[in-house]
Structure formats: structure tokens, C-alpha cells
């Protein structure tokens, strides 16, 4: 695509007002999403206070069946909402490079939610890809979301603190029972000194079985991190609803 000079793109902005990163409706200059779309992505649902799994409103938020025997070592999962409806559609799109602006908007909304929930990590760490995948895909969704969160929270983004050392199969392609083995020993903390005694925020697009987050948490705590929190755009429920 032709690159526009700064004055030219400014002039085009005057003629073509900024539009919503999701529905293309006109928006105010500093708003990446229109009010309606923002509401769709941020509608609060009743969910488990630990793993963000949707639970019926009548159920106690601390009595989630998924968490009972999970032995999670991270503090909790913060998600914009369950992986369904428009949020699911958006997450499928943001994996494509053409939708980076939407990925950034999703990250900003997640950053706002973290601020609201008073989650205050020292460092932001996206789930890393294996280097062979990095060659094939220039952008990583987790990285784009993490970078937007780091901007909102004004906290450092560490892209190289952790490395994926094993070329794993895509978790979504495997049965839940095979997912922990697929990611076991898949990560390495490259700079343990950097994570030592720090509260780390791991960022990904979706949390479903939790195997990736659990394995990364294990590595980070072993390297001396004090706490780990997980932030994801959506909480996968394992069903297509």
C-alpha cells in the first residue's frame, strides 16, 4: 500500500472522519470504537472470580467447578467476556494483520478493565510464539493486545523475558486432556533476574483449558516471580455457544 505523508493523511482525516475499528461507524477522534461496540465488548457477565468462567447469576462466584481441582497457581484470570457472540467474531478477526487496530482497541478495553479491577502488575508479558511461527507471522495477537495494555497501565512490556522453546501443536486442535502435555516444558524464562520478585501479567487472546497459562505461571514462579495474573480478551468455555 502507498504510504501517505503526514500532512496528506491529516487532510484525508478531515474528509474521512475516523471510524469504529469494528463497525466502521464514525467516531470521535480519540475513540477507537463506537459506544455501541464498546458496550458489546465490555458488558459484564457473571463469572468465576478466579478463572473468569461464566457462571449462572444465582451461583456463588467463588464456587466454580472448573477451579475446584485445578490447582491454579496464578492469582486470577481477567477477561473482557466469554468467547462467544461478537467478542468471538472479533477475536477470530484480530488474528489477521489487517485488523491490528481492532486488536489494539480490544487491548485498550482490557487495560481499562484491569485498572478498574485495581490489578497493578510490574511487568506485562505476552504469551510468546516459537521462532518458526514468528517468521511466518509478523504480528502476534497476544503481543498487540499486551502492548495496548502496557500503554494503558503505563507499565513495561517485556517481549524477550520468556521464550517458547518447544514447537507445540495448537492447543485448540487438541483434546483438553492432551493440552497440559503439549505445553509442558514449552517455555523458558530467559532473564530470571528480570522477573524475580515481580508481579507478572501474562497476556493472551483466549484462555480455555488454562494449560498454557498454568505452565507459564509455573516457570515464572520457579524463576522467582512473586505473583502472576492472567489477562485475556475472552474466556473460552469449550462450547460453541
Write out the residues near Zn ion by the rule CB under 5 A.
20, 22-23, 25, 34, 37, 48, 50-51, 53, 64, 66-67
Compute how many other C-beta atoms are within 10 angstroms of the C-beta atom of residue 43. 12
Query: What is the nearest approach in angstroms of Zn ion to the Cβ of residue 4?
Result: 24
What is d(CA 230, CA 225) in angstroms, rounded to the nearest whole number? 14
Task: In angstroms, give the least distance from the CB of 53 to Zn ion.
Answer: 5
CB of 72 vs Zn ion, minimal distance in Å: 8
Three-state DSSP at 174 gives coil
Which is it for strands 162-164 and 187-189: parallel, antiparallel or unpaired? antiparallel
Is the Cβ of residue 34 or residue 145 nearer to Zn ion in the bound state?
Answer: 34
- The half-sphere exposure of 60 on its side-chain side, counting CA atoms within 13 A, is 4
Nearer to Zn ion by Cβ, of 94 and 223: the residue is 94
Closest approach, Cβ 128 to Zn ion, in A, equals 25
Residue 68, CB-side half-sphere exposure with 13 Å CA sphere: 4
Report the C-alpha gap between 103 and 144 in whole angstroms. 6
CA 100 to chain CA centroid, Å, is: 14
CB of 119 to Zn ion, least distance (A): 17
Please identify, using beta-carbon distances, which residue of 78 and 123 lies nearer to Zn ion: 78
If the CB atoms of residues 50 and 152 are measured against Zn ion, the closer one turns out to be 50
Residue whose CB is less far from Zn ion, 50 or 130: 50
Measured from the CB atom, the residue of 25 and 96 that comes closer to Zn ion is 25
Per-residue CA distances from 11 to 26, 36, 101 (Å): 16, 27, 20
CB of 135 to Zn ion, least distance (A): 34
Give the 3-state secondary structure of residue 232.
strand
3-state secondary structure of 155: coil
Amino acid at each position: 500500500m502507498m504510504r501517505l505523508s503526514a500532512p496528506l493523511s491529516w487532510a484525508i482525516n478531515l474528509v474521512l472522519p475516523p471510524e469504529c475499528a469494528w463497525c466502521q461507524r464514525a467516531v470521535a477522534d480519540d475513540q477507537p470504537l463506537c459506544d455501541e461496540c464498546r458496550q458489546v465488548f465490555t458488558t459484564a457477565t457473571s463469572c468465576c472470580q478466579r478463572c473468569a468462567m461464566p457462571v449462572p447469576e444465582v451461583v456463588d462466584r467463588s464456587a466454580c467447578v472448573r477451579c475446584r481441582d485445578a490447582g491454579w497457581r496464578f492469582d486470577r484470570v481477567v477477561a473482557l467476556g466469554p468467547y462467544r457472540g461478537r467478542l468471538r467474531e472479533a477475536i477470530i478477526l484480530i488474528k489477521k494483520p489487517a485488523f491490528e487496530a481492532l486488536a489494539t482497541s480490544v487491548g485498550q478495553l482490557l487495560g481499562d478493565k484491569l485498572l478498574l479491577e485495581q490489578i497493578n502488575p510490574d511487568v506485562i508479558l505476552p504469551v510468546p510464539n516459537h521462532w518458526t511461527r514468528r517468521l511466518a507471522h509478523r504480528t502476534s495477537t497476544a503481543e498487540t493486545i499486551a502492548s495496548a495494555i502496557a500503554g494503558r497501565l503505563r507499565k513495561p512490556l517485556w517481549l524477550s523475558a520468556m521464550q517458547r522453546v518447544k514447537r507445540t501443536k495448537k492447543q485448540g486442535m487438541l483434546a483438553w486432556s492432551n493440552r497440559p502435555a503439549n505445553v509442558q516444558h514449552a517455555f523458558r524464562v530467559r532473564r530470571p533476574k528480570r522477573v524475580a520478585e515481580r508481579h507478572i501479567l501474562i497476556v493472551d487472546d483466549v484462555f480455555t483449558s488454562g494449560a498454557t497459562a498454568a505452565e507459564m505461571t509455573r516457570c515464572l514462579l520457579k524463576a522467582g516471580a512473586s505473583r502472576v495474573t492472567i489477562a485475556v480478551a475472552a474466556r473460552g468455555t469449550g462450547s460453541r455457544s
